[in-house]
Amino acid sequence: MSQTITQPKSPQTKPNGNDAAPVPATQASPPLWLCDVTRQPVATDDCLACSRNGRPNACSFTPPILEALRASMKSDPALKAIHSLAAQQGVTVLRVSSLTGCTRQAWYRLTQGTPLETPSRHWARLRGVIFHKALESMAEKSVLAEQRFVVDLRAFGVDAWIAGMVDHYDPATGVLTDLKTMNAWKRLASYPDLPREHHIAQVWIYGWLLEKAGLGYPRAMAITYMTMGDIRTVPVPLPTPEGRQFVEARIVAKAKAIVEADPTLGPKGDPREDWQCRYCLYKAACPDRRKSEKKKEK
């Protein structure tokens, strides 16, 4: 389901008035995804029936996996309640991921909803859910595992709440750990770019959430990267006091740009790396996608 919004839906045009490619269809029910073979919307029950009948179209998704996928896409009751309360108070709920990626992409997601994707595209997220649920169920009772925190930005002059799920925080040691699943074809030790910049930014926001919740700022941070056959935990540098002030200012500025954007033009896109555009579901309609992605379309 699309997120609660406080802005009208954006027209399907570029800021310069030229025709733009339409944004993909908004996620709806009963179709929850696109057929992995035809790439067309398919009713969930029809998809399951096809799978039970032997997957005549050479689809790799069996009924148990599709059922798990459907279950993982159900609205979280707690998050749904947060959105409902926010709507009553006239504020917008933003996810932590909206504050670390492209501003325009976050605005598209907020105003357009989530486009339909194939089960293959959903699989990586489902795999992450499986890892997180398993580790949450086995966590010690003394730690905070998969704990959601919500911070109100109205004190900063922005009608928004920031909602984020902290993977693992141990109040006794002050260690905050974020969990990341990856697709990797080699040992994680051979990746020199871990932890990645946008992952560090995300963990710093989680630290900010913990501090705002009255739990104090973490004394140490780490990210655990996981694949189906490997695991690697890397430390995350703590921001300096000035850095923490910068993180807070960045959160406020980013949230303000998203929720107060012109309902027709939207905020300017700011993708920092090609992959952000490559995997963006809204790139066909985005005037700010990186030049490398525009060249591929010619």
pLDDT digits (tens, 9 = 90+) for 223-261: 999 988 899 999 999 999 999 999 999 999 999 999 999
SS3 of the chain: helix, strand, coil, percent, to 5: 40, 20, 40
| Residue 156, pLDDT score | 97
Residues 281, 290 contacting (CB under 8 angstroms) = no
pLDDT beyond 50 at 5:
no
Backbone angles phi, psi at 190, to 5 degrees: -90, 0
| Residue 73, pLDDT score | 86
Residue 26 pLDDT class (50, 70, 90 cuts): very low
Please compute the mean of the pLDDT values over residues 18-43 and round it to a whole number: 67
The pair of three-digit structure tokens given for residue 42, joined into one six-digit string: 């398919």
Q: Which residues contact 237 (CB under 8 A, 6 or more apart)?
A: 200, 221
CA atoms within 13 A on the CB side of 73: 25
Residue 297 pLDDT class (50, 70, 90 cuts): low
Residue 155 has what DSSP assignment? G
pLDDT in tens, 100-136: 989 999 999 999 988 899 998 888 888 888 888 888 8
175-181 and 31-34 beta bridge pairing = unpaired
Residue 16 pLDDT class (50, 70, 90 cuts): very low
pLDDT in tens, 175-193: 999 999 988 778 888 888 8
Name the pTM for this structure: 0.83
pLDDT beyond 70 at 19:
no
Write the Ramachandran bin of 90: left for phi over 0, alpha for psi from -120 to 50, otherwise beta: left
| Residue 291, pLDDT score | 63
| Residue 159, pLDDT score | 97
Counted residue by residue, the chain has a size of 298
| Residue 293, pLDDT score | 55
pLDDT beyond 90 at 82:
yes
The pair of three-digit structure tokens given for residue 66, joined into one six-digit string: 């599709």
* Percent of the chain whose pLDDT exceeds 70: 87
Spatial distance between the Cα atoms of 37 and 57, rounded to a whole number of angstroms: 7
| Residue 30, pLDDT score | 66
| Residue 272, pLDDT score | 80
Q: Which domains does the chain have, with CATH numbers?
A: 31-296 (3.90.320.10)
The pair of three-digit structure tokens given for residue 162, joined into one six-digit string: 């920031």
| Residue 259, pLDDT score | 96
DSSP SS3 for 123: helix
160-170 and 92-95 beta bridge pairing = parallel
Please compute the mean of the pLDDT values over residues 211-230 and round it to a whole number: 95
| Residue 292, pLDDT score | 54
Of 241, 166, 171, 247, the residue nearest 204 (C-alpha)? 247
